Amino acid sequence: GQQLNQSPQSMFIQEGEDVSMNCTSSSIFNTWLWYKQEPGEGPVLLIALYKAGELTSNGRLTAQFGITRKDSFLNISASIPSDVGIYFCAGPNFGNEKLTFGTGTRLTIIP
């Protein structure tokens, strides 16, 4: 089956720093989604991308749909304590309603 590899697996940063993470696929996707999961909760949708090259922002978060259609990137600017959590990328194959999720990037903010 499909695999989505996220990098890095974990990040330890100080409040105020910018964050970058990425997701790569073994096959082409026509949609990329980014989710955030906080402890004890289900993932929450942050950003959805539908077109190669698309750049979309949600507050301090910006995500990009890679032009090869096999990768996507998420950036967080000026991190704050509530950014802590696990960030997942997800995507479907063409014509398929099954979403595959990446293994996640765990973000920890050092006081």
Binding site for other proteins (CB under 8 A): 1, 4, 31, 33, 35, 40-45, 48, 88, 90, 92, 97-104
Find the shortest distance in angstroms from Cβ 93 to other proteins: 11
What letter represents residue 9's amino acid? Q
DSSP state of 50: -
Q: Specify the residue, 26 or 80, whose C-beta has the smaller distance to other proteins.
A: 26
Token pair belonging to 46: 């942050």
DSSP state of 6: E
Choose between 12 and 94: whose C-beta lies nearer to other proteins: 94
Encoding tokens for residue 70? 């096999």
Residue 16 beta carbon to other proteins: minimum distance, rounded to whole angstroms? 29
Instruction: Considering the complex, state which of residue 84 and residue 99 has its C-beta at the smaller distance from other proteins.
Output: 99
For residue 25, what are its two tokens?
């696929």
Write out the two tokens for 57.
């922002």
